[in-house]
Amino acid sequence: MTSYQISDVRILAFLTLLLQAQGCQYDPHANLYTTEKPQPRDVVGRYTLISQTATRDGMAALQGEPCVIDLRADGTFIATNVPPWELGSPGTNFLGALLTGSGTWRIDSVGSIDDGSRPMKTHWGVYLDCQAAKMKPVGLIGKEPPFGLIFTLGDPDSGDAMILERVK
């Protein structure tokens, strides 16, 4: 090979690696996820929406409508304006599809995190069991109480989410 051909091979290899690196994505919220199972008493509380990225309008898109989850110590909940349990990215009518209801709640795995270290870590969250509507499980965020809640919407790599904070 000539030096010209070797240089071309190096450039091609570099461009291939660059394209592969750009294709690798990760959930931008993964560093927030709760990976140690909390006690139910540490999750009990009232949570309100503080940010959402499902629409471009942020909090203004809700037009003053509250998004609230009240997790009670007796294992029951009341939720207002929470996402339905469906796969796929939020549609244009996303805010019109939000649900309100009540039922029981439980802590369980809502997924796992692969940060390159082994083994994979469990992402803990809360399942909202409601007879009237199938509500999306909500992930826990934070390493210790008070925890927050996150609804990941669609592909986690998209960053589309609704984040709720516990009211003090």
pLDDT per position as a tens digit, 114-131? 867 778 999 999 999 999
Average pLDDT over residues 90-112: 87
| Largest interatomic CA distance in the chain | 76
Tokens of 8: 């071309």
pLDDT per position as a tens digit, 10-60? 554 444 443 333 444 578 999 999 999 999 999 999 999 998 887 777 666
Distance in angstroms (rounded) separating the CA atoms of residues 152 and 155: 8
* Domains of the chain, residue spans: 26-166
Q: Please say whether the beta carbons of 137 and 110 come within 8 A.
A: yes
Task: Calculate the CA dihedral of residues 63, 65, 71, 77 and round it to 10 degrees.
Answer: -140
